[in-house]
Structure 1
Amino acid sequence: MKRSQFFCLSGFVDGHNACCGTGLLRGLNTCGGKKGATNYQLCPDSTSHIFFDSYHCTESINRQAAHTMWEGKDPSVRPLPLKTFFNSNSEVSHVDIGRKGEIKVSLTMGHASSK
């Protein structure tokens, strides 16, 4: 939600309107003439938007999300950043989805074990 509220800080021109569509916030799924639409709006540069249409984020925001998950410098990325699994000798030995949707991951990293 932060990126759509403070979209300018993330390098976007528009964090509310979709790049393609009609209606309020270009939120109607009419991009490319869907639903028989003869008129729809298409932005000149989708990289400046967070949303491409009413269902899809743009490649730009997906790239930022992937970078955030890879680096893990945001508190929302836990228990470990993705690069940990590729840049070390760690392996996921067990993934448990608890009753309340809580995910517990057991890792083996060298001689250390973490849950």
Structure 2
Amino acid sequence: MLWDCGVSGLSQGYGLCENDTEYLFFDSFHLTEKAHRQIAELIWSGPSNVTARCNLKTLFELK
């Protein structure tokens, strides 16, 4: 998995990648949609070592 989609540098300028779904970062600071989706999936149904006591799915299923 590749990390940075953009090409940056003082002499190179900046360019856009052709397939941003393969990257986690659009540039050094901004996450791609793929990264946001992975974070959301972990928050919703991730294991307890990621979400502390319970994930959101478990929390909403509590009665």
Q: Is the 8 A contact 2:42 2:50 kept in 1?
A: no
Considering only aligned residues, what root-mean-square deviation do their CA atoms show, in Å? 2.3
Return the TM-score normalized by structure 1.
0.46
Q: 2:46 aligns with which of 69, 72, 77?
A: 72
1:1-115 aligned within 5 A: 7=1, 14-15=2-3, 18-23=4-9, 39-73=13-47, 75-89=49-63
Q: How many residues align?
A: 62
Task: Tell me the TM-score normalized by structure 2.
Answer: 0.74
1:43 aligned counterpart, secondary structure:
coil
Is the Cα contact below 8 Å between 1:71 and 1:82 reproduced in 2? yes
- Structure 1, unaligned runs of 5 or more: 1-6, 8-13, 29-38, 90-115
Amino acid at match of 1:42: L
Between structures 1 and 2, the one with greater helix share: 2
Higher relative contact order (CA 8 A, sep 6+): 2
Match of 1:100 in 2: none
Whichever of the two has the greater Rg, that structure is 1
**Identity over aligned pairs, percent:** 38
- Please list every run of 5 or more consecutive structure 2 residues that lacks an aligned counterpart in the other structure: none
